[in-house]
Structure 1
Amino acid sequence: MILHCLFRGATLSLSCIILAGGKGLRLGRDKALEKINSLTLVQHSVTTLRGLGEQIIVVTAPGKTDLGLEDFPEVRVVEDRDTGKGPLMGIYAGLSASKSELNLVVACDMPFLNLELIRFMVSQSEGWDAVIPRVGGLIEPLHAVYRRNIKEVAAELMAGGAYSLRQLLNKVRVRFIEETEIGLYDPQNLSFFNINFPEDLEKARELFRQRSS
């Protein structure tokens, strides 16, 4: 599917990359398979992003391919090259599998993705290698849009033993999406609510209950 960007009149291709390879150490179990209502967190992400772009890629740890995605035949599951190296390697694996110039990258533990905010971010990508929200002075590199060509920069960093996302961003052109812009689409900043601890999971379940009541 091709996204028509209303803000600049451009037509851009997009793929969606979901990172699901984390160990969930703070939660104490694999967060990708935790359920809210009847869907796991990774299934929530896939369901929300279905139809947004040309393809959906789920990046997981080596050998961790049983993600309950059999009912989503359009999803391509790819494995990291190595474990314990952090999200930069996951982003690299996803970009390497992508066939699109632009790529949305999200962590699988963000159950409140906002499609209008995502479309706005994509519309701001012209002339930039990455489009990243900034909330409370903190950046959100795992809710961002990346050009596929930054995988070459990532490869160079990792070849030198560097796995920091900040090091990557220091080497590419970044458009930061500020809170005033985010607030037009997601005034509560729920897009960036992620699951780290059991209490986060319970809060997310309660928010879903409130939305459905």
Structure 2
Amino acid sequence: MNTIGVVLAGGLSRRYGSPKAFASRNGKPYYEIAHEAVSTVSDEVILVARPEFLGDFNQDMNVIVDEKEFVGCGPLVGIYSVMAHFPAERYVIVPCDMPYINSDVIHSLVASYEDEDVLAVEVEGIYHPIVAIYHHRMKDSIHQALEHGQYSVMKWLNGVGVRWIEGNELTMNAQDVFRNMNTPGEH
């Protein structure tokens, strides 16, 4: 199955105080950790970033920005932007701010995928809609939502076929692996 890995690295990082994509764990930038996690299950990995930081990423990586008509409107735009330019059967999506994510967890996620519209992770009642696999058939639905000013991933997911998988089925330390870093001192 043709698979594109998507690393969402275009957030504003308001609470963090600086771009989270460039924060590091054990000397490795978060965006590289996310890239490595999805690269082993993907034919190609695309990072979606803010335009002002394009030149700051590893130049060997494929980095794009949001579609012009929806620029800066959140992660749903980033997902759509990749779908619009990189056709694939499925898209394995991770945010750049989960520095404990790894390829083993992503392999488990992919192994759990059963060709549904969206397979996303939930950990003990906390939903992670951008640690997920989106089928290509969702592209038009996402585009319609964006055209109607609907930028919330969760609100969009409420209207489509999503299967939530408990993170503890993917890894023994799900609460750590799927934790977003929102402040610099959270390591």
Q: After superposition, what is the alpha-carbon deviation per residue over 1:138-165, rounded to whole angstroms, capped at 9, x for unaligned?
A: 2111111111221211110111111111
Percent identity for Structure 1 against Structure 2 = 29
| Structure with greater Cα Rg | 1
Does the alignment pair 1:101 with 2:89?
Answer: yes
* Other-structure match for 1:56: 45
8 Å contact from structure 1 (residues 62, 83) kept in 2: no
User: Which residue identity is paired with 2:6?
Assistant: I
User: Once superposed, what is the RMSD of the aligned Cα atoms?
Assistant: 1.9
- Residue 146 of structure 2 aligns with which residue? 158
Q: Which has the higher helix share?
A: 2
Q: Output aligned runs, 1:127-142, within 5 Å.
A: 127-142=115-130
- SS at structure 2 position matched to 1:112: coil
Instruction: Note the C-alpha offset of 1:131.
Output: 0.5
Q: What residue number does 2:34 align with?
A: 45
Structure 1, unmatched stretches of 5+, are 1-11, 204-213
Tell me the residue number matched to 2:110: 122
Q: Could you tell me which amino acid in structure 2 is paired with residue 22 of structure 1?
A: G
Give the AA of the match of 2:88: S
Amino acid at match of 1:67: D
Q: Match of 1:69?
A: 58
* Kept after mapping to 1: 8 A contact 2:121/2:164: yes
Question: Which position in structure 2 is the counterpart of 1:145?
Answer: 133
* Ranges in structure 2 where 5+ consecutive residues have no aligned partner: none
Match of 2:99 in 1: 111
Looking at both structures, which has the greater relative contact order when contacts are Cα pairs under 8 Å and sequence separation is at least 6? Answer: 2
Structure 2 equivalent of residue 178 of structure 1: 166
Query: Normalized against structure 2, the TM-score is what?
Result: 0.89
Task: Name whichever of 85-94 and 44-53 sits farther off.
Answer: 44-53
**Closer, same or farther in 2 for the Cα pair 1:83/1:60, shift >3 Å?**
same
Determine the structure 2 residue equivalent to 1:198.
184
Deviation (angstroms), 1:188: 4.2
* Alignment length (residue pairs): 185
Q: 1:189 corresponds to which residue?
A: 175
Change (3 A) 1:25 1:83: farther
Can you list the C-alpha shifts for 1:85-144, whole angstroms capped at 9, x where unaligned?
111111111222333211111111111113233223223322411111111212111111
Match of 1:34 in 2: 23
The letter of the residue matching 1:21 is G
